[in-house]
Amino acid sequence: MNARRATIADVARVAGVAASTASVVFSGKTPVSGATRDRVLAAAEQLGYTGPDPRATSLRRGRSGIVGVVIGDRLRTAFRDPVTTVMLDGLAEGVAEQGAGLLLLRDDNEGGEPSLRSAPVDAFVLVGCSGHLRESLAAIRARGIPVVVVEGDAGEGIPQIHLDNREAQAEIARHLRSLGHREVALVTLQLAATGSPGWIGADDRIAVDVTRDRLEGARDVFPAARAYAAGGSSIDEGYAAGEAVLTAPGPRPTAILAQSDLLAAGVIRAVQDAGLVVPEDISVTGFDGVQVDGVAPLTLTTMVQPAAEKGRAAGAAISAMLAGGPAPTIRLSSAFRPGNTTGPAPTARAPEGSASA
Amino acid sequence: MNARRATIADVARVAGVAASTASVVFSGKTPVSGATRDRVLAAAEQLGYTGPDPRATSLRRGRSGIVGVVIGDRLRTAFRDPVTTVMLDGLAEGVAEQGAGLLLLRDDNEGGEPSLRSAPVDAFVLVGCSGHLRESLAAIRARGIPVVVVEGDAGEGIPQIHLDNREAQAEIARHLRSLGHREVALVTLQLAATGSPGWIGADDRIAVDVTRDRLEGARDVFPAARAYAAGGSSIDEGYAAGEAVLTAPGPRPTAILAQSDLLAAGVIRAVQDAGLVVPEDISVTGFDGVQVDGVAPLTLTTMVQPAAEKGRAAGAAISAMLAGGPAPTIRLSSAFRPGNTTGPAPTARAPEGSASA
DNA sequence: TTGTATGCGTTATCAG
DNA sequence: CTGATAACGCATACAA
C-alpha cells in the first residue's frame, strides 16, 4: 500500500543494521547471528518487504536466471507435437537445476516484444529448424550469449543435441524386414519448414535434417521404398498420407513406416477406414515413443527417443557454457519398443493358405 | 572476444559523445542528429556493442518486460490440450503488444528455479486451477504485482477471464433436444485437479469450476442425464469414458455430450469401435472448437470458445493494471458450430420404418 | 540537439 | 559476524 515499495535499505534502517547485512540475511551467503536475522526479518515483515528486487539482483550479478527458448512456429503449432512438449519439459527441468526459468521467444517478432536482441536472458535454446534460424543465430552470437540447438542444423561450433535418427529408423526397418515385409511405403515428416504433402521424387531437396536422416535410415534397409511426405507431424496429416499411400497405383504395401507417432496414428486410422486390419493386413510403425493421444487401444511399435532427456541435455550444456567451459555436442540414442501394430507380412503366410495364431 | 563486454559508456567515449546521447541513439526517445547517430552506431559496431544490457534497462525502468505464466501441471500435461496452447498463444500475442514476453513458471517448484517470489516479472497470469493456486496467489499478492486468472476461481478482487460455460453447454444441449434426443449421457472433464474417472453421484463435490458449470448447463436442459467424469481432457480418456457409457446398464443414449473436443474425439472412436455409427446411431458433441487432431474426416458439432481471445484479454488486463488502472473481470462467449457428428435421434425416425437421405 | 548529474536496488569485497 | 564502499549499466530530468 506504500507509494513506494520498500527496499532493502529501508529494511536495514528499520532493523538498525547495514544494508549489506540485511542483504546477506536474504541471500544466506554469509553467516548471520540469529538475533540480527530476526530483527531484519521482523523489519521486512513490518514494511511488507518480500525479498530483493530481481531486477536489481540480476544487474548486480550479471545473470537473470532466464533461458530463452526460441520457437520457430506459433506456440499453437509448435506445441501440437507432444515430442516438442516433452522435450520442453525436460529443458525446463534441466535449466531449473541451475536455477533458471524458460522465456518463450519467437524468432520473427515484428512487435515490441523482447526479441532475440533485447531479451534479458543468460542463454538461448533454439528448437527445431525454422527458416529464420540462421539470422536468429547471427543476432544471438553477436550478443555473445551461449546458444544450444536442439535438433537443428546450426553448424559452426555451436553445441547441438541430436538423435541417432538414421540408425534408429534403420533399426525399426530391419524389424519389419525380419517379419518378412518387402513391399513397404514410408510416410515422412515435412521436407521443408513450409512443406506441402506429396510423393518424394528422387531429386527432391530435403531441407529438414530429421526428415532426411530418417528417410536415409529407412532406405538403408528398403532402398526402393516409396516415400510420401506429410504436411506436418499430426494425426490428420498422417491420415491424409495414409489415404494417399493406400490409393496409389501399384502393389499395396504390407507395411508403412511413419516418421512420427502422430503420423503413424493417422496412418493406422486410414488403414482401418479402408477396411483393412492393423497389423494383419498392414503393419505400421511410428517414431518418437511419446504417449500419443488417440492410438488406444492399440500400442504402437516404435522407436522411443529420449525426448525429455534431450531437453535436460540442453540444460546441462547451457550450464556448462555459463560456467565458462565448452559444451560438447551430444548425440542421444533411441530404443526399439515393440507394440501390436506390426506383425508378419501377409504375403509371407498367405501362400501356405492358413494363418497361424 | 573482449574480456569485458562493451558498455554504452565505452561506445560514447569512442564516438566522442556523452553517454546519455549514445543512450538516446539506441532508445530513440529523443531526436538525434544524423551525424552523431552515425558516429555512435559506428563506434558500437567497432566495439561489438549490440545494444543496452536488458538487465540494467529493466532496473532503471522498473520493468522487465516479462510476464510470468503459472502452469499448474508439468508442461507436458498442461500443453496436451490444444485449448491451453491456443490460449497461451493468444496471451503471447496480448503481452507482446505491450512489449513483453512469457516466462513459464510452475507453482510447486522445489528447486532453485525462479519461483513466484523471485521471478523478474512485471505481472502474473495464473492458468487453470491447480491445487496450489491459493498459496501461489498469496505469494504473488505479497509482491504487489498485478495478477490475472484465466478460468480459475481466484476470488477476492482479482480480475478473471472466463467463459459462459453454463450457457454455452446449455445451448448445444438444446440443439440436441431439438433433434429429438431425450436419452443423453454426459462425459465431463475432471472433478478435481487429480481426479479419477467414474460416474458422478448426486452428492459428489465438483472442485473444478469449468466442469461444474458445463455440467449444470447440460442439466438445465437434460436434468436427469447421467454424467461420467473422465480422468482428464484427452482422446484416450474420452475413449475410456465412451466405453464406460456404452457398456453401462440401462437404455443406450442417443446422444453423448462431451465437455471438450478431445473427449468427444475419443467418445466418437469408442462409439465406432462398438460397431455404431456417428451420428446415425449416436450423436456426439464437443466443446472448445479448437482444431482437434484425430477427428478427421468428421467435423465435430461443438461450441467454439474464443481461446486465443482469452489469452489476448488477459494480456490486455495486465496492460491496464500495469498502467495503473483497475482491470475488469472479463466474460467471453462461445458460439455454436454445427458439424456432422449430430443428427436426429434414431428413435425419432426409426418408428416410421425408413431413414431419409 | 547535446551534455551533466543522479539514482534505480542490490550485493561483492574487504576491513574491522 | 557486521559495516562501509563501490560498482553493476543504464535512462531520465534538466540545464546548456
Predicted confidence at residue B78, as pLDDT, reads 83
Residue written as grid cell 515393440:
A338
What are all long-range contacts of B335-338, with beta carbons under 8 Å and residues at least 24 apart? B335/B289, B335/B303, B335/B304, B336/B171, B336/B172, B336/B175, B336/B303, B336/B304, B337/B289, B337/B301, B337/B302, B337/B303, B337/B304, B338/B175, B338/B301
A48 touches chain B (CB under 8 A): yes
User: How far is it, in rounded angstroms, from Cα B40 to Cα B22?
Assistant: 6
* Residue A152 contacts residue A128 (beta carbons within 8 Å): yes
Q: Which of A112, A120, A144 sits opposite B55 (nearest CB)?
A: A120
Contact flag B59-A64 (C-beta cutoff 8 Å): no
Top pLDDT among B266 and A78 is at: B266
- DSSP-derived letter for residue A303 is E
Please state, rounded to an integer, the average pLDDT across all residues of chain B: 88
CA distance B143 to chain A (A): 6
pLDDT-derived band at A355 (thresholds 50, 70, 90) equals very low
pLDDT-derived band at A254 (thresholds 50, 70, 90) equals very high
pTM value is: 0.87
Nearest residue to B79 via CA among A255, A15, A85, A200: A85
Contact flag A120-B65 (C-beta cutoff 8 Å): yes
- Contact list in A for residue B310 (CB cut-off 8 A) is none
pLDDT-derived band at A313 (thresholds 50, 70, 90) equals very high
Please check the confidence at residue A115 and state whether its pLDDT lies above 90.
no
B318 touches chain A (CB under 8 A): no
- Residues A149-163: tens digit of each pLDDT: 887 766 677 888 889
| CATH architecture, domain defined by A165-304 | 3-Layer(aba) Sandwich (3.40)
- In Å, what is the separation between the CA of B146 and the C1' of D13? 28
B59 closest-nt by C1' vs CA: C8
A19 closest-nt by C1' vs CA: D3
* Range scoring the smallest mean pLDDT among A74-78, A99-103, A164-168, A216-220: A74-78
User: How far is it, in rounded angstroms, from Cα B121 to Cα B233?
Assistant: 30
Please check the confidence at residue B32 and state whether its pLDDT lies above 90.
no
Query: Which B positions 101-120 lie with beta carbon below 8 A of chain A?
Result: 101-106, 109, 111-114, 117-120
User: How far is it, in rounded angstroms, from Cα A277 to Cα A45?
Assistant: 68
Q: Secondary structure of chain A: what % helix, strand, coil (to 5)?
A: 40, 15, 45
Q: Determine the residue type at A84.
A: T
- Over range B183-193, report the average pLDDT: 92
Nearest residue to B264 via CA among B161, B172, B167, B345: B172
| B-chain residue closest to A234, CA distance | B293
CB B117 within 7 Å, strand D: no
Peptide bond between residue B114 and the one before it cis (omega within 30 degrees of 0): no
Contact flag A294-B265 (C-beta cutoff 8 Å): yes
- Residues A118-144: tens digit of each pLDDT: 899 999 998 876 666 777 788 888 888
B48 touches chain A (CB under 8 A): yes
* Range scoring the smallest mean pLDDT among A218-222, A255-259, B233-237: B233-237
B71 touches chain A (CB under 8 A): no
- Contact list in A for residue B29 (CB cut-off 8 A) is none
Fold matches, B66-163+306-335 and B165-304 = yes
Nearest residue to B57 via CA among B123, B111, B7: B7
Residue written as grid cell 529438414:
A208
* First vs last C-alpha separation in chain B: 75
Residue written as grid cell 533458471:
A100
Predicted confidence at residue A99, as pLDDT, reads 83
Domains of chain B, residue spans = 8-52, 66-163+306-335, 165-304
B39 closest-nt by C1' vs CA: C2
- Contact list in B for residue A65 (CB cut-off 8 A) is 113-114, 118, 120
A55 touches chain B (CB under 8 A): yes
The residue of B73, B75, B91 whose CB has the most chain A CBs within 10 angstroms, and thus the best one to mutate to test that interface, is: B75
A7 touches chain B (CB under 8 A): no
Residue written as grid cell 497470469:
B125
- Contact list in B for residue A92 (CB cut-off 8 A) is 75, 104, 106
- Over range A295-316, report the average pLDDT: 92
- Over range B299-305, report the average pLDDT: 96
- Residues A260-296: tens digit of each pLDDT: 999 999 999 999 999 999 999 999 999 999 878 877 7
| B-chain residue closest to A95, CA distance | B113
Grid coordinates belonging to B162: 472466463
B142 touches chain A (CB under 8 A): yes
Contact flag B55-A59 (C-beta cutoff 8 Å): yes
* Residue A169 contacts residue A213 (beta carbons within 8 Å): yes
Residues 6+ apart with CB under 8 A from A156: none
CATH code, residues B66-163+306-335: 3.40.50.2300
Contact flag B113-A119 (C-beta cutoff 8 Å): no
| A-chain residue closest to B267, CA distance | A294
Top pLDDT among B211 and A97 is at: B211
Q: How far is CA B277 from CA A165, B241, B255, B298, in A?
A: 40, 17, 12, 12
- Over range B332-347, report the average pLDDT: 94
- Residues B69-121: tens digit of each pLDDT: 988 777 888 888 889 899 999 999 888 888 889 999 877 665 556 778 889 99
- In Å, what is the separation between the CA of A27 and the C1' of C9? 14
Predicted confidence at residue A75, as pLDDT, reads 80
B23 closest-nt by C1' vs CA: D11
- Over range B291-307, report the average pLDDT: 88
pLDDT-derived band at A347 (thresholds 50, 70, 90) equals low
Residues 6+ apart with CB under 8 A from B53: A59, B5, B7
* Residue B301 contacts residue B285 (beta carbons within 8 Å): yes
B274 touches chain A (CB under 8 A): no
A277 touches chain B (CB under 8 A): no
Nearest residue to A71 via CA among A104, A100, A94, A96: A104
Q: Secondary structure of chain B: what % helix, strand, coil (to 5)?
A: 40, 15, 45
| A-chain residue closest to B269, CA distance | A294
Residue written as grid cell 516484444:
A113
Please check the confidence at residue A356 and state whether its pLDDT lies above 50.
no
Query: Which A positions 201-240 lie with beta carbon below 8 A of chain B?
Result: 234-236, 239-240
